């Protein structure tokens, strides 16, 4: 019935609460992209020569590439010369040495977003690196982490302080010429997070990066690199928001994960970039390359993502299962509403023997949104006894949205076992009436049903994030019963 | 408690209820019987506030208020409970979570504080005995993979926990084996009190062997064609609905 479809749509329409702008003086490059811009970014960051060369090579390669068009998303042409590739809050003189020296307006911004940066506030023992437009503004708990031998700092700092590590690993998972957006990122990336967990260390706390786009007409191109040496373990969380603006803004990040023998990396994302308004004006173009490499035997990489934001999402967190017995996991909830478009999924590349991968994708579409799962499971010749299990479920709310599934499977090893299951369902009027007849408001009923649909993925999130993810879907969980 | 006056209801432009009059007082049990398509389920859905039903005339007064003005959750919180003929499944939402959300919504409405997890669990464990339901079912997704009998017991459990004032059971007896039917009936009987009323919508008389109604009404073509006491149900069991239908047709012709 049309009436209840409209009601459902009204129910799931929530205002974007992180859409405010912080008024700060910035140090920005004028819009435009050229070798000079690449040099200017590198110079601003005081980078060693090898880094500039790396960037220039990526830039020259990018010039020869074309923007990919295969995704199931539609948008007008992007004018790469109209974007500013660098914006940073202006600092009086030197870089802030402690949180006390960070601009209070910035701290206030993060407080407003619910990310207190003061260490004494002890974000439940989570260390945070806050990236504001193009630069990292603060990293907390550094001393405690250093005592464990863990390096957690901004990418700019890593390039200056640990050039050997950067040179050894940067681009080793996602090469600069991997794809159009990765090449662009490699040329102009401004900051991001760097994590190094030495051999045998279990990182003593959750690590987290909070990305915030503030300035107008600016692209955000962050680069994250996580290296987990043999027998180490780390759990890393990433959150993102941006102000509401009528123009689209480009976010083209690259995340590389390297897990050596017996190492485990758990990477969780709650992505809530501004999705645009109801008519599809504005919003972030989220074109991101995320890939993990299980480089040693028994390594494990697990991606968990909750994607509620962005006008367009183009993102396939992947795992290359190189080492024998390596494990790759991908758990995803992607919510699209209004005119949002998401084309997201994963790639699991089985190279080693007895490698296993699990893909669990939950897509929720409402309004006029289009939600696509696109996944590749590739089993190479040497991957004896490789196993994959894929489950893709779609939930439709209303009758103007779409859900699509494109699973690609390439198997070159006869002993491999690959399973795929897919379902599509709608929130039914019966379910909604049943819940309201039990006294539960229609809003809470929709939240409850959506939450139930996503449960298998939410339980993979660290506690802190699970709560945030549920809140994002308009869910209030009362108590712990059930 | 409930007064239905001259209620006319259309579904997709078709007249289904054509002038229902019914008075239900606290403490009473009314059975609404009738052949398929007579409007039994429509009546229970309209009382619970389901969308898609157009009330063209008449009124429904519940506890002195206009029931038809309230959205379904409001009716529920005011004490109107519908046990569904086909209980829905909600994947990923545990039974106990739904119960807690529902009970706390009611309690907030009544100005009571929400129950904490321990008190709530204690309450549930007590109520679940009433319907002889496996406690494991509390932690499974709502009705998912439940047998027909388990689903109906679950409905009665919800009724026992929410303690409504007006309980409408929409063909709760359909598809139940005799043991499950007895459990459902025992549940209903144990909830009978002086300040609570029941409307049992049923096609068959057999539930009424276990739950003795004060009144029996026969619905034919959207009207109450005949009312009586429990003996009327026995008469229907024996003779079927045909004779009332013929009687009604004759009266209409006259």
Q: What are phi and psi of B183, to 5 degrees?
A: -60, -45
User: Which residues are A7's β-sheet partners?
Assistant: none
User: Which one of A452, A479, A480 has the shortest CB-CB distance to B93?
Assistant: A452
Q: What are phi and psi of B47, to 5 degrees?
A: -65, -35
- What is A139-162 written as a DSSP string? E-SHHHHHHTT-EEEEHHHHHHH-
Structural domains in chain B, CATH included, are: 2-253 (3.40.50.300)
Say if the Cβ atoms of B98 and A433 lie within 8 Å.
no
Could you tell me how far CA B139 lies from the centroid of its own chain? Answer: 25
Contact A204, A198 (CB under 8 A): no
pLDDT of the residue at A94: 47
pLDDT of the residue at A465: 66
pLDDT, one tens digit per residue, over B99-136 is: 999 999 999 999 999 988 889 999 999 999 888 889 99
| Distance from the B90 Cα atom to the nearest Cα atom in chain A, whole angstroms | 7
User: Which one of B73, B100, B104 has the shortest CB-CB distance to A436?
Assistant: B73
pLDDT of the residue at A481: 22
Only one residue has tokens 């183009």, namely: A314
Cα dihedral A148/A463/A134/A84 (nearest 10): 160
| Distance from the B241 Cα atom to the nearest Cα atom in chain A, whole angstroms | 30
B156: left (phi over 0), alpha (psi -120 to 50) or beta: alpha
Q: What is the 3-state secondary structure (H, E, C) of A4-69?
A: HHHHHHHHHCCCCCCCCCCCCCEEECCCCCCHHHHHHHHHHCCCCHHHHHHHHHHHHHHHCCCCCC
In the A/B pair of chains, how many CB contacts fall below 8 A?
A: 102
DSSP A220: B
User: Which one of A3, A430, A454 has the shortest CB-CB distance to B88?
Assistant: A430
| Distance from the B11 Cα atom to the nearest Cα atom in chain A, whole angstroms | 12
pLDDT band at B48, cuts 50/70/90?
very high
Q: Exposed, middle or buried by CB within 10 Å (0-12, 13-18, 19+), for A6?
A: exposed
* Residue-by-residue pLDDT tens, chain A, 482 positions: 344 445 555 555 556 666 666 666 667 788 889 999 999 999 988 999 999 999 999 999 999 999 988 888 888 888 899 888 887 766 544 445 555 555 666 666 666 655 555 543 444 455 667 666 656 656 667 777 888 999 988 898 899 999 999 999 999 999 999 999 999 999 999 888 899 999 999 998 888 887 766 665 667 788 999 999 999 999 998 876 655 656 677 888 999 999 999 999 999 888 777 777 777 777 788 899 999 999 999 999 999 988 887 788 889 999 999 999 999 999 998 888 888 888 999 999 999 999 999 999 999 888 888 889 999 999 999 999 999 999 999 988 878 888 899 999 999 999 999 999 988 888 878 898 999 999 999 878 888 888 888 888 888 877 666 666 666 654 322 221 22
CA distance A450 to A435: 13
Contact A358, A330 (CB under 8 A): yes
Specify the range with the lowest mean pLDDT, choosing from A348-352, B39-43, B239-243.
B239-243
Q: Say which residue, A249 or B76, is predicted with more confidence.
A: B76
Say if the Cβ atoms of B76 and A437 lie within 8 Å.
yes
The two tokens of residue A219 are 């692209």
CA distance A91 to A101: 10
Contacts of B120 in chain A (CB under 8 A): 479, 481
Dmax (CA) for chain B in angstroms is 64
Q: β-strand B54-62 against B65-66: which pairing, if any?
A: antiparallel
Only one residue has tokens 């289904």, namely: B16
pLDDT of the residue at B253: 75
| Cβ atoms within 10 Å of B118's Cβ, excluding its own | 10
pLDDT, one tens digit per residue, over B158-200 is: 999 999 999 999 998 888 888 888 888 998 999 999 999 999 9
In B54-213, the DSSP E strands lie at 54-62, 65-66, 80-83, 90-94, 141-142, 166-170, 197-202
Q: β-strand B141-142 against B166-170: which pairing, if any?
A: unpaired
The two tokens of residue A342 are 């998401």
- Contacts (Cβ under 8 Å, ≥6 apart) of A245: A216, A274, A282
pLDDT of the residue at A399: 80
The two tokens of residue B120 are 């709530």
Nearest-Cα residue of chain A relative to residue B117 = A481
pLDDT, one tens digit per residue, over B13-29 is: 999 999 999 999 999 99
Does the pTM of the predicted model rise above 0.90?
Answer: no
């Amino acid at each position: 019935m049309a009436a209840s479809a409209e009601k459902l749509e009204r129910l799931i329409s929530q205002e974007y609460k992180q859409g405010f702008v912080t008024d700060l003086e910035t140090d920005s490059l004028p819009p435009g992209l050229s070798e000079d811009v690449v040099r200017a970014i590198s110079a601003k960051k005081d980078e060693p020569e090898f880094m500039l060369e790396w960037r220039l090579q990526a830039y020259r390669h990018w010039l020869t590439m074309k923007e990919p068009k295969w995704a199931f998303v539609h948008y007008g042409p992007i004018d790469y010369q109209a974007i500013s590739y660098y914006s940073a809050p202006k600092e009086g003189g030197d870089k802030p040495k402690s949180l006390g020296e960070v601009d209070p307006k910035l701290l206030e911004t993060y407080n407003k977003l619910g990310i207190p940066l003061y260490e004494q506030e002890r974000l439940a023992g989570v260390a945070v690196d806050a990236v504001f437009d193009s630069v990292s503004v603060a990293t907390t708990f550094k001393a405690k982490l250093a005592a464990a031998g863990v390096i957690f700092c901004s990418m700019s700092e890593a390039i200056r302080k640990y050039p050997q590590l950067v040179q050894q690993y940067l681009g080793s998972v996602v090469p600069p010429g991997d794809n159009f957006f990765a090449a662009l990122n490699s040329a102009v990336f401004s900051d991001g997070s760097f994590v190094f967990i030495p051999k045998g260390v279990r990182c003593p706390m959750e690590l987290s990066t909070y990305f915030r786009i503030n300035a107008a007409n600016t692209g955000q191109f962050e680069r994250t690199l996580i290296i987990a040496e043999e027998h180490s373990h780390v759990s890393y969380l990433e959150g993102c928001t941006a102000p509401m603006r009528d123009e689209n803004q480009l976010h083209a990040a690259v995340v590389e994960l390297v897990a050596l023998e017996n190492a485990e990396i758990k990477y969780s994302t709650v992505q809530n970039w501004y999705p645009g308004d109801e008519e599809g004006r504005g919003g972030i173009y989220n074109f991101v390359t995320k890939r993990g490499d299980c480089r040693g035997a028994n390594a494990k990489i697990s991606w968990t993502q909750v994607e509620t934001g962005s006008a367009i999402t183009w993102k396939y967190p992947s795992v290359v299962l190189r080492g024998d017995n390596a494990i790759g996991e991908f758990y995803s909830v992607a919510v699209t509403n209004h005119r949002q478009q998401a084309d997201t999924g994963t790639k699991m590349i089985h190279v080693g023997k007895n490698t296993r991968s699990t893909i669990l994708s939950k897509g929720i579409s409402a309004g006029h949104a289009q939600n696509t799962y696109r996944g590749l499971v590739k089993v190479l010749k040497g991957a004896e006894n490789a196993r994959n299990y894929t489950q893709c479920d779609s939930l439709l709310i209303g009758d103007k949205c779409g859900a699509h599934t494109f699973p690609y499977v390439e198997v070159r090893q006869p002993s491999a076992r690959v399973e795929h299951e897919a379902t599509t369902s709608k929130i039914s009027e019966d379910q909604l009436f049943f819940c309201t007849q039990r006294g539960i408001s229609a809003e809470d009923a929709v939240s409850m049903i959506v939450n139930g649909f996503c449960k298998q993925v939410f339980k993979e999130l660290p506690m802190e994030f699970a709560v945030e993810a549920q809140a994002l879907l308009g869910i209030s969980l009362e108590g712990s019963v059930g | 408690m409930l007064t239905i006056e001259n209620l006319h209801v259309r579904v997709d432009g078709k007249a289904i209820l054509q002038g229902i009059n019914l008075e239900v007082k606290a403490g009473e049990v009314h059975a609404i019987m009738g052949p398929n398509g007579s409007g039994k389920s429509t009546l229970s859905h309209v009382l619970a506030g389901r969308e898609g039903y157009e009330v063209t005339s008449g009124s429904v007064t519940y506890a002195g208020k206009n029931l038809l003005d309230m959205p379904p959750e409001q009716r529920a919180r005011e004490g109107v409970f519908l046990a569904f003929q086909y209980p829905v499944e909600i994947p990923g939402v545990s039974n106990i979570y739904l119960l807690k959300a529902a009970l706390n919504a009611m309690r907030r409405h009544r100005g009571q504080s929400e129950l904490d997890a321990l008190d709530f669990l204690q309450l549930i464990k007590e109520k679940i005995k009433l319907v002889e339901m496996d406690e494991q079912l509390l932690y499974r997704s709502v009705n998912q993979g439940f047998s027909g009998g388990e689903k109906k017991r679950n409905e009665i459990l919800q009724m026992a926990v929410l303690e409504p004032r007006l309980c409408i059971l929409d063909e709760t007896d359909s598809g139940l084996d005799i043991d499950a039917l007895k459990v459902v009936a025992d549940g209903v009987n144990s909830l009978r009190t002086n300040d609570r009323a029941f409307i049992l919508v049923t096609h068959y008389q057999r539930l009424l062997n276990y739950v003795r109604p004060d009144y029996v009404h026969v619905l034919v073509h959207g009207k109450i064609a005949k009312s009586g006491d429990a003996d009327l149900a026995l008469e229907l069991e024996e003779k079927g609905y045909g004779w009332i239908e013929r009687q009604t047709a004759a009266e209409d012709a006259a």
